[in-house]
Amino acid sequence: MGHGHGHHHHHDEVGIGGGSDLPAALDLSTPDDELRPEDRSRRAFLRRAGLLGAGVAAAGALGAGVGGGAEPASAHGKDDEHDHASFNGGGSFKWLAGDHHIHTHYSSDGMYRVIDQVQHGRAHGLDWMVITDHGSEAHAKIGVDKVNPEILAAREALKDTLVFQGLEWNIPAAEHGTVFVNPGKNELSVLKQFENNFDSSVKAAGDSTPANEALAISGLNFLADAVKRGKVEHALFLANHPARNGIDSPHEIRGWRDAAPGIAIGMEGAPGHQAGGLSKAKGGPGAARGAYGNSPSANSFPYPLESYRTWGGFDWFTATVGGLWDSLLAEGKPWWITANSDAHTIFLETAVRGNSDFNELGYYLDPVHGGTVNTTNVDFWPGYYSKTHVGATTDSYLAVMDGLRLGRIWVDHGGLLAGLDMRVRKAGDRSKDGGTPLGGTVSVKKGTALELVISIDLAVLPNWAEFVPKLARVDVIRGKVTGKPADKDAFTTPNTRVEKSFEVGTGQKKVSFTYALGRAEQSYYVRVRGTDGNRKGPGYLGVSVDAEGPAIDVVGDADPWADLWFYTNPIWVETH
Q: State yes or no: pLDDT of 41 exceeds 80.
A: no
What's the average model confidence in pLDDT over 214-238? 97
Entry pTM: 0.85
Instruction: Quote the CA–CA distance of 52 and 16 in Å, as a whole number.
Output: 18
Q: State yes or no: pLDDT of 54 exceeds 50.
A: no
pLDDT the model gives residue 430: 85
Composition of the chain by helix, strand, coil, percent to 5: 25, 25, 50
pLDDT the model gives residue 368: 97
CA distance to 82, 270, 382, 470, per residue, from 125 (Å): 27, 18, 9, 19
pLDDT the model gives residue 16: 30
Q: For 247-262, write each residue's pLDDT tens digit.
A: 999 999 999 999 999 9
Q: State yes or no: pLDDT of 3 exceeds 70.
A: no
Q: State yes or no: pLDDT of 129 exceeds 50.
A: yes
pLDDT the model gives residue 526: 98
Residues 6+ apart with CB under 8 A from 122: 158, 160, 161, 383
Instruction: Decide: 576 and 446 in contact? Cβ < 8 Å.
Output: yes
Residues 6+ apart with CB under 8 A from 348: 373, 374, 375, 377
Element (H, E) at 95: strand 94-102
Q: State yes or no: pLDDT of 273 exceeds 90.
A: yes
In this structure, the number of other CB atoms found within 10 A of the CB of residue 69 comes to: 16
pLDDT the model gives residue 219: 98
Note the helical H segments in 397-534.
397-405
pLDDT over 70 percentage in the chain: 84
Type of residue at 351: A
What's the average model confidence in pLDDT over 314-318? 98
pLDDT the model gives residue 67: 26
What's the average model confidence in pLDDT over 6-34? 44
Residues 6+ apart with CB under 8 A from 142: 362, 363
Q: How confident is the model at residue 475 (pLDDT cuts 50, 70, 90)?
A: very high
* pLDDT greater at residue 132 or residue 44: 132
* pLDDT greater at residue 93 or residue 10: 93
CA distance to 337, 364, 421, per residue, from 408 (Å): 10, 37, 10
Q: How confident is the model at residue 18 (pLDDT cuts 50, 70, 90)?
A: very low
Q: State yes or no: pLDDT of 26 exceeds 80.
A: no
Q: For 327-344, write each residue's pLDDT tens digit.
A: 999 999 999 999 999 999
Q: State yes or no: pLDDT of 19 exceeds 80.
A: no
What's the average model confidence in pLDDT over 42-55? 48
Q: Which long-range contacts (CB under 8 A, 24 or more apart) does 282-289 make?
A: 282/559, 283/375, 284/347, 284/375, 284/559, 285/347, 285/375, 285/376, 285/377, 285/378, 286/556, 286/557, 287/378, 287/555, 287/556, 288/553, 288/555, 288/556, 288/558, 289/313, 289/553, 289/555, 289/558, 289/560
* pLDDT greater at residue 19 or residue 483: 483
CA distance to 41, 76, 132, 221, per residue, from 33 (Å): 11, 19, 31, 19
Output the DSSP codes for 121-153.
HHHTT-SEEEE-PBP-HHIIIIIHHHHHHHHHH
pLDDT the model gives residue 13: 30
* pLDDT greater at residue 417 or residue 62: 417
pLDDT the model gives residue 143: 73
pLDDT the model gives residue 46: 54
Read off φ and ψ for residue 296, nearest 5 degrees. -60, 150
pLDDT the model gives residue 36: 53
Residues 6+ apart with CB under 8 A from 19: none
Q: How confident is the model at residue 414 (pLDDT cuts 50, 70, 90)?
A: very high
Type of residue at 314: F
What's the average model confidence in pLDDT over 175-203? 97
Q: State yes or no: pLDDT of 122 exceeds 70.
A: yes
Domains defined along the chain, listed by start:
88-575 (3.20.20.140)
* pLDDT greater at residue 1 or residue 479: 479
Read off φ and ψ for residue 455, nearest 5 degrees. -115, 125
pLDDT the model gives residue 138: 83
Q: How confident is the model at residue 52 (pLDDT cuts 50, 70, 90)?
A: low
Considering only 19-28, 92-101, 301-310, which range has the smallest mean pLDDT? 19-28
Considering only 79-83, 161-165, 204-208, which range has the smallest mean pLDDT? 79-83
What's the average model confidence in pLDDT over 216-243? 97
